């Protein structure tokens, strides 16, 4: 077994490893979706690592690199997995330990990750490595058609227009919490055309906006200026987004818990709580 970085490893090998590691999970990610996910999360192959057996990746950690936590250079666990037949050998922990000197030498000051709250085994491992819980996140999902059934036909007093990612820089104050790594403005910029940005205009003033993936149905950000809340702005954005979304599922990942305004809005549209995560950080 050899542990080394993923620089020079083909995307085909990376996709095969990812698909194999999650073959017994209830998730399905095609090549296009994985490529989009890695790009959006800042995947850096030179600072990502895998365990190789017979020249095949049997376990891996994909790391994204960027400035996120307190504005410091941070590594983000974009995806960790182990093929079923190689589990129970501590490969994930070995890969993490192997990567630390390389991350430190690259100037990384913090390591950030998210873990499902019910995954007690993983949580225990991360805590043993020195990780601390920063925040709790909720994630929500619903079938698109069921969301449509909760949308009103009443016309809103705003117009929906296409925007660019730079158009929402000044509107980050609309949020009630700081977006997670995969949803923050830097990730949106990295995603490029994989994401669509819509704005709600009231008398030529930006009153709210949303950013989403038409392919996956992922709502990356949705926020309304407090002055314009409870006036149908978010509903209008959601309605337009759903009309443009190919996916049959709508999902909102990593909503800080609690966020009463967004929690109540999603509940009113039938978008249900599907699970909970912890955001954790380790100072290197």
* pTM of the entire predicted model: 0.92
Are β-strands 73-82 and 110-116 bridged in parallel, bridged antiparallel, or unpaired? parallel
Share of the chain above pLDDT 70, in %: 99
Cα(16)–Cα(43) distance, rounded to whole angstroms?
17
In this predicted structure, the answer to whether residue 18 has a pLDDT above a threshold of 80 is: yes
**Quick one: pLDDT at residue 157?**
83
**Quick one: pLDDT at residue 156?**
77
Question: 27: pLDDT confidence band, cut at 50, 70 and 90?
Answer: low
Are β-strands 110-116 and 219-224 bridged in parallel, bridged antiparallel, or unpaired? unpaired
Task: Name residue, tokens 């909970």.
Answer: 276
| Chain segment 95-147, per-residue pLDDT in tens | 999 999 999 999 999 999 999 999 998 899 899 999 999 999 999 999 999 99
In this predicted structure, the answer to whether residue 185 has a pLDDT above a threshold of 90 is: yes
**DSSP letter string over 192-258?**
GGGSEEEEEEETTEEEEEEEE-TTT-BEEEEEE-GGGTTSSHHHHHHHHHHHH--SSEEEEEEEES-
207 backbone φψ class: left, alpha, beta (φ>0; ψ -120 to 50): alpha
Higher per-residue pLDDT: 156 or 279: 279
Token reading at 206? 């930006």
Cα(28)–Cα(19) distance, rounded to whole angstroms?
8
**Quick one: pLDDT at residue 153?**
74
82 backbone φψ class: left, alpha, beta (φ>0; ψ -120 to 50): beta
| Chain segment 38-68, per-residue pLDDT in tens | 999 999 999 999 999 999 999 999 999 998 8
Cα(255)–Cα(98) distance, rounded to whole angstroms?
32
Residue from 63, 39, 187 nearest 113 by CA: 63
Residue from 234, 253, 34 nearest 137 by CA: 253
- 48 contacts 11 by C-beta, under 8 angstroms: no
In this predicted structure, the answer to whether residue 14 has a pLDDT above a threshold of 90 is: yes
Do 2-108 and 139-276 fold alike per CATH? Answer: yes
Question: 23: pLDDT confidence band, cut at 50, 70 and 90?
Answer: confident
| Chain segment 234-251, per-residue pLDDT in tens | 999 999 999 999 999 999
Select 2-108's CATH number: 3.10.20.600, 1.10.1270.20, 3.40.50.200, 3.40.630.30: 3.40.630.30
Cα-Cα end-to-end distance for the chain = 26
Q: Was domain 139-276 assigned CATH 3.40.50.300?
A: no
Cα(212)–Cα(242) distance, rounded to whole angstroms?
10
**Quick one: pLDDT at residue 67?**
87
Domain extent listing, the chain:
2-108, 139-276
Cα(206)–Cα(174) distance, rounded to whole angstroms?
10
User: What are the φ/ψ torsions at residue 222 (nearest 5 degrees)?
Assistant: -145, 125
Token reading at 245? 């979304």
Share of the chain above pLDDT 90, in %: 89
| Chain segment 186-214, per-residue pLDDT in tens | 999 999 999 999 999 999 999 999 999 99
**Quick one: pLDDT at residue 70?**
78
């Amino acid at each position: 077994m050899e542990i080394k970085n993923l620089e020079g490893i083909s995307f085909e090998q990376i996709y095969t490893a990812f698909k194999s590691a999650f073959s017994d999970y209830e998730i399905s990610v095609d090549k296009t979706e994985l490529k989009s996910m890695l790009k959006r999360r800042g995947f850096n192959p030179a600072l990502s690592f895998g365990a190789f057996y017979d020249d095949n990746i049997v376990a891996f950690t994909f790391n994204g690199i960027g400035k996120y936590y307190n504005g410091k250079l941070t590594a983000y666990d974009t995806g960790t997995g182990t093929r079923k037949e190689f589990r129970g050998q501590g490969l994930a922990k070995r890969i993490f330990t192997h990567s630390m000197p390389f991350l430190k030498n690259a100037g990384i000051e913090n390591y950030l990750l998210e873990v499902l709250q019910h995954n007690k085994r993983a949580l225990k491992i991360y805590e043993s490595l020195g990780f601390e819980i920063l925040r709790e996140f909720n994630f929500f999902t619903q079938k698109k058609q069921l969301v449509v059934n909760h949308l009103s036909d009443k016309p809103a007093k705003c117009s929906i227009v296409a925007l660019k990612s730079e158009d929402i820089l000044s509107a980050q104050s609309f949020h009630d919490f700081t977006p997670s790594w995969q949803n923050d403005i830097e990730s949106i910029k990295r995603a490029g055309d994989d994401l669509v940005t819509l704005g709600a205009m009231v008398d030529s003033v930006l009153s709210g906006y949303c950013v989403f993936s038409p392919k996956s149905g992922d709502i990356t950000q949705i926020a309304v200026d407090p002055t314009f809340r409870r006036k149908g702005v978010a509903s209008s954005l959601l309605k337009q987004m759903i009309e443009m979304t190919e996916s049959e599922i709508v999902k909102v990942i990593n909503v800080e818990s609690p966020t009463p305004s967004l929690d109540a809005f999603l509940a009113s549209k039938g978008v249900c709580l599907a699970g909970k995560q912890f955001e954790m950080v380790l100072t290197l």
